[in-house]
Structure 1
Amino acid sequence: MNQNNLIKWDLDLIRRYDLSGPRYTSYPTAIQFDPELSASELVNTGQQTADLNTPLSLYVHIPFCAHVCYYCACNKVITRNRKKAQPYLDTLYKEMAQLSEWYSEDRVVEQLHFGGGTPTFISNDQMIQLMQKLRDNFKLLDDDSGDYSIEIDPREVDHEMLKVLREIGFNRVSFGVQDVELKVQEAVNRVQPVEEIADVLYESRRLGFRSINIDLIYGLPHQTLDSFTKTLDTIIELDPDRLSVFNYAHMPDRFRSQSHIKAEDLPSPETKLAILETTISKLIDAGYVYIGMDHFAKPDDELALAQQSGKLHRNFQGYTTHSDCDLVAMGVSSISQIGDVYYQNEHDIALYSAAVESRNDAIKRGVTLTRDDRIRRAVITQLICHFQLHKKDIEDQFEISFADYFTEELQELEKFTGDGLVVLTDDNIEVTPAGRLLIRRICMSFDAYIPKQSPTKGFSRII
C-alpha cells in the first residue's frame, strides 16, 4: 500500500486541532500581498530572480458563467450574453503580449491551465483564437507532451467543443460535478443528470484526453452520509483519474451567492466529518492514492508518481507537478509566481480592463519573498506535498543549521509528537497517519505571519 494511504482517523485530535488556517497554495499566503508595492517593482524583481533555464507554467482566467452556482467562491461574472467575452479576450491579448515581453525568453511552456468561471463559456472559434494567441506569444509544445488542462462544466460543453479542445492541444480536463443527488443539485442551482456527466467523460476518454479530474464538494445543503456515499459510488464507477473533494465553507457575508443557501439545510459538523472519513476510506479502497488534503489520484497518474518520486509541488491550482516552473498568470484576479515574487491582478473586471488598456498590466498587489520566506516556503512545501522532511536537504539548500534556525518551531512540533501527529528525529520530520489529515495545522508551525493557537480570520477551517 502507498504510505500516504495510511490514514488514522482520530476524532478527538481532529476536534482539538481543526482551527482555521491557510491552504498553502503559496507562502507567504495572499493575505500578505501588499497593494503598496508598485507593479514595476514587482516585475523587475521577478525578472531579476527568475531562472531563465527553467520552463513556464501559464494560467488563463476566464471569469464568465451562464448560471450562478450558489456555493461558488470563485471570481466570476454571471451573464447569458456571450458577446461579453470578446472584449475581455481582446484585453487579455494585450496583457498577454506584455507578459510575453517580460517573461517568455524562449522558455518552453510545460504546463497550461484554463480556469474560471467557465472557460467553455467562450465559443469554439474564440477558444481556437485564444490558443493561437498563446502560441504566438509563448513557446507552447506541439507534441502533446505538455500538461495542458482546462476546467469544464458538463452542462456547457458538447462533443464538438471537446473535439476542438483536444485538437488545439489540451490533454487534461477537469469536470465540476460537486454532487449527483438531485435534491442537493437543486439547492445549489446546479442541476446536471449523471447521464450528462458520463457522456462528457466517456467522450473525453474516447478523444484521448490522458487525465480526467472530477471535483466534488462535501458540506452542501441536504447532504447526508448516505446520500454522499451514493455520490461516491457513482463517481467511482465513472473511474476518473483524479478526484478533488473540497470542503464547502459557508461564508454568505463574503460571497453573495451563498446567501441563497439556508444554513439550517447544511449538514452538521459531525456529519461532515463522517462524510470525509467515508470519502477517504472509500476512495482508498477503490484504488486511489491519497495525495493530501482534498486530492486523490490513481497510482499511475502523474500526480501520484510525482509524489512518489519527491517531485510534487503546490501552487495556486493546488497540488501539481512541474515544481521548477515559474507561473505566469493572466486575466482578472489571476496570481503569478515569478522568481521571488507573487502578484495578483485586479479582482474587478472593469478595473482589470481599464488597467490593461491604460498600462498593459493589471497588477494590484503582491509580495517580494525574503530569504526567510524562501526557507519557510521550502519547508512547508515539502511537508504538505510529501508528509516528511529531511532536515539536511534544507540545510544544504540554504546553508543553515535547521535546529538553530527553527528552535521555536521544533519546540512547537514537540507538542504534536505527544499527540502522535509527527515523529521528530535529529534528521527528519515525519508526519504520521493521524497527522496527515491535519497537515495544514502542522505547516502553520513554520508560518511566521499568523497566530498558531486560535482560528485565523480570512481562512477556511482545516477540515
Structure 2
Amino acid sequence: MTNVTLKYATRAVPRYTSYPTAPHFDADFGRDIYAEWLKSVDPSVPISLYLHVPFCQSMCHYCGCYTKITQKEKPLQDYADMLVREVELVASKLPKQQPVSHIHWGGGTPSILPRDAFLRVVEAVKTHFTFTDDMEHAIELDPRTVTPELAETLRLAGINRTSLGVQDFDLKVQEAVGRVQPYEIVKASVEALRAVGIEEINLDLMYGLPHQTRETIRNSVDLTASLNPTRLALFGYAHVPWMKKHQRLIKEELLPNAEERIALFDDACQALADYGFEKIGLDHFAKSDDPLAIAAREGSMRRNFQGYTTDEAEILIGLGASSIGKMPQGYIQNSPDFGGWVRSVESGELPIARGLAMDSDDRARAAIIMSIMTAYTVDIAAVAKDFNVNLEAIRASSYSYLDELIEDGVAKRNGDIVEVTHEGRPLVRLVAAAFDAYLHKGKGRHSVAV
C-alpha cells in the first residue's frame, strides 16, 4: 500500500472539519439571517461554545491559525472586555438562557489573557448560559506559558481538559519552526496541571516538519508517551505560505518529501500503538478507556472545527474575532478583521463577515462526509432518503471519482455502500472528497492528503 499512498500523498484536499468548507462561505451573508437562526434555537437543547483568543507572545513559523503578536497587557484586557460584550450580545439573541455542554478555548494562545481578564470572560459566560453537570470545558495551551499560577486560574475557571502543543521534542526541529520548548518545560506544565486536579490532558505532535527524521519522531513519541496523556493528536504540517506568509520562514528544501512524510507518519503511528494508544480517525489517538475511544467504537464520535470529538451538539456558537460557528441551517464566521469585529460588537451588531445557508444537498453530503471521516463507511442511499435528495444525482456526481481509489484498494463500493479499506484509511480525506460538490469549483487551496 505504500506505493498507493505515495501516489496520492501530494493531492490537495480539505481536512473536512466542516462541509461545505470555509473557502465557500459567502461574504454577502447577512447578520440578520444569523440573528433569525439564533432566535429559532430550541432553548432545551444543549449547545457548544468556541471562544477564540487571537494573541500569542511570539509567532511559530508553522502556525496556520488566525493570531496576532503582543507583549502588552492592554490589548488583552481590551479584547476580554469586547469578548464579554459579544457573549452578552449573542445571548440576547437567543430565546432564553441556553444550556451548554461543551466549551472550547482556542487561538492563538487563549491562556495569554491575564487572570482577571480570563475569569471575567468565564463569569460572563456563566451568567448568560447554563452549564450542564457533565460539561467539558477545554482549552488549548502553549506549554511555555503554563505555570502553577496559570494552572490555578484554569482550575478556578472550571477547565477540565487541556491540549498542549508539543509538536516535536528535537531541538534542531524546534529551532527550525521557531518554537523551542525542552522536554523539561512540557513535563513541568503537565505536572502543574495535574497538581490542581486537571487530569484530562491532550498532547499534540506534528509530522512533516523540517529536519524531522524517523529517529527523531520516534524519540518525540517516546517522550510524549512518558507524560501519560489521555489523548494525543498527530497532525501533518500544512505548508501553505500563500495563506500564511510567516511560513516562508520555513525553508521548503528542509521539509520532508512525500515518501518521507509517509514514513514519519507510519513510524509515529506504530510507536503510539506500541504504547497502547488506539488510533482514532485520521490523526487522533486515545487510551482505550478514554471517552473518545469509546465513542469511536460505539459510532457516536463526531468531527468539527476542533477535530474528532465526543461533542454531539448540533449548534456551535463561535465567539471572538475570526471564530466559526455551526447551526442546523448553516455556517457563520466572525470578522477576521480585528477592527471590524470590534466595531460591530461596540455597535451592538453581530460581527459576521461570512456565512453559508445549507440546502438539502449540502446537508446530505455533510452527513456522508462526516460518516466517512469518522466511521470509514456510509450508506449513500440511506443518507439520500434521510435528507430527501436525489440519489441518482449523488451517484452521477460522485461515484466516478471513486473509481481510481477503488482500483487502487483505497476504497470499495457494494452498491451504494462505500467503505474505506483498512489500508486506505490514511487517505480517508480523498474518499470524502469524492462527495464534495464544491471542491472542483476551483475556490480555495488545500493541504496535501498525507
Question: TM-score when scaled to structure 1?
Answer: 0.92
Does the 8 Å contact 1:118/1:153 carry over to 2?
yes
1:200-246 Cα shifts (integer Å, max 9, x gaps): 11232343324211111112222122111111111122121111111
Structure 1 partner of 2:57? 66
Structure 2 partner of 1:460? 447
Q: Does 1:291 align with 2:275?
A: no
Does the 8 Å contact 1:47/1:338 carry over to 2?
no
CA 1:214–1:362 in structure 2 vs 1: closer, same or farther (change >3 Å)? same
CA 1:411–1:458 in structure 2 vs 1: closer, same or farther (change >3 Å)? closer
Structure 2 partner of 1:4? none
Per the TM alignment, residue 12 of structure 1 is displaced from its structure 2 partner at its CA by 2.6
Per the TM alignment, residue 146 of structure 1 is displaced from its structure 2 partner at its CA by 1.0
Does the 8 Å contact 1:422/1:430 carry over to 2?
yes
Which amino acid letter does the alignment assign opposite residue 259 of structure 1? R
Please point out which of 363, 380, 386 is paired with 2:369. 380
Per the TM alignment, residue 27 of structure 1 is displaced from its structure 2 partner at its CA by 0.8
1:296-445 correspondence to structure 2 within 5 Å: 296-391=285-380, 393-399=382-388, 402=391, 405-426=394-415, 428-445=417-434
Does the 8 Å contact 2:119/2:157 carry over to 1?
yes
Structure 2 partner of 1:97? 88
Distance 1:70 1:400 in 2: 44
- After the TM superposition, which of the residue ranges 387-396 and 269-278 deviates more from structure 2? 387-396
Structure 1 partner of 2:110? 119
Distance 1:383 1:327 in 2: 21
Does the 8 Å contact 1:303/1:321 carry over to 2?
yes
Structure with greater contact order relative to length (CA < 8 Å, sep ≥ 6): 1
Does the 8 Å contact 2:394/2:435 carry over to 1?
no
Distance 2:444 2:238 in 1: 13
Per the TM alignment, residue 413 of structure 1 is displaced from its structure 2 partner at its CA by 2.7
Per the TM alignment, residue 328 of structure 1 is displaced from its structure 2 partner at its CA by 0.6
Distance 2:157 2:10 in 1: 44
Per the TM alignment, residue 438 of structure 1 is displaced from its structure 2 partner at its CA by 0.8
Please point out which of 188, 191, 200 is paired with 1:202. 191
Does the 8 Å contact 1:47/1:339 carry over to 2?
no
Per the TM alignment, residue 391 of structure 1 is displaced from its structure 2 partner at its CA by 4.3
Distance 2:412 2:353 in 1: 42
CA 1:319–1:273 in structure 2 vs 1: closer, same or farther (change >3 Å)? same
Per the TM alignment, residue 403 of structure 1 is displaced from its structure 2 partner at its CA by 5.9
Structure 2 partner of 1:161? 150
Q: Does 1:16 align with 2:19?
A: no
Partner-residue secondary structure (3-state), 1:406: helix
- Percent identity reads 37
Per the TM alignment, residue 104 of structure 1 is displaced from its structure 2 partner at its CA by 6.4
Per the TM alignment, residue 62 of structure 1 is displaced from its structure 2 partner at its CA by 0.8
1:30-45 correspondence to structure 2 within 5 Å: 30-45=22-37
Distance 1:40 1:387 in 2: 38
Does the 8 Å contact 2:29/2:355 carry over to 1?
yes
CA 1:311–1:103 in structure 2 vs 1: closer, same or farther (change >3 Å)? farther
Distance 2:311 2:104 in 1: 13
Please point out which of 104, 111, 126 is paired with 1:135. 126
1:303-348 Cα shifts (integer Å, max 9, x gaps): 1111111111111111111223300110010001122120111112
Q: Does 1:181 align with 2:166?
A: no
Distance 1:307 1:32 in 2: 29
Per the TM alignment, residue 459 of structure 1 is displaced from its structure 2 partner at its CA by 0.8
Does the 8 Å contact 1:75/1:333 carry over to 2?
yes
Structure 2 partner of 1:56? 47
Does the 8 Å contact 1:111/1:322 carry over to 2?
yes
Does the 8 Å contact 2:361/2:389 carry over to 1?
no
CA 1:354–1:278 in structure 2 vs 1: closer, same or farther (change >3 Å)? same
Please point out which of 173, 180, 203 is paired with 1:191. 180
Which amino acid letter does the alignment assign opposite residue 258 of structure 1? Q
Distance 2:393 2:64 in 1: 41
Does the 8 Å contact 1:380/1:446 carry over to 2?
yes
Structure 1 partner of 2:97? 106
CA 1:74–1:104 in structure 2 vs 1: closer, same or farther (change >3 Å)? farther
Which amino acid letter does the alignment assign opposite residue 17 of structure 2? T
Does the 8 Å contact 1:54/1:107 carry over to 2?
yes
Per the TM alignment, residue 428 of structure 1 is displaced from its structure 2 partner at its CA by 2.9
Does the 8 Å contact 1:82/1:121 carry over to 2?
no
Distance 1:16 1:103 in 2: 45
Please point out which of 443, 447, 450 is paired with 2:439. 450
- After the TM superposition, which of the residue ranges 327-336 and 231-240 deviates more from structure 2? 231-240
Please point out which of 128, 144, 147 is paired with 2:136. 147
Which amino acid letter does the alignment assign opposite residue 154 of structure 2? L
Does the 8 Å contact 1:17/1:441 carry over to 2?
no
- Identify unmatched segments of 5+ residues in structure 1: 1-8
Which amino acid letter does the alignment assign opposite residue 439 of structure 1? V
* CA RMSD between the two structures: 2.1
Which amino acid letter does the alignment assign opposite residue 22 of structure 1? P
Distance 1:269 1:422 in 2: 21
Distance 2:249 2:416 in 1: 51
Does the 8 Å contact 2:207/2:235 carry over to 1?
yes
1:254-302 Cα shifts (integer Å, max 9, x gaps): 2122222222322233222210111111112221121122211112111
- Identify unmatched segments of 5+ residues in structure 2: none
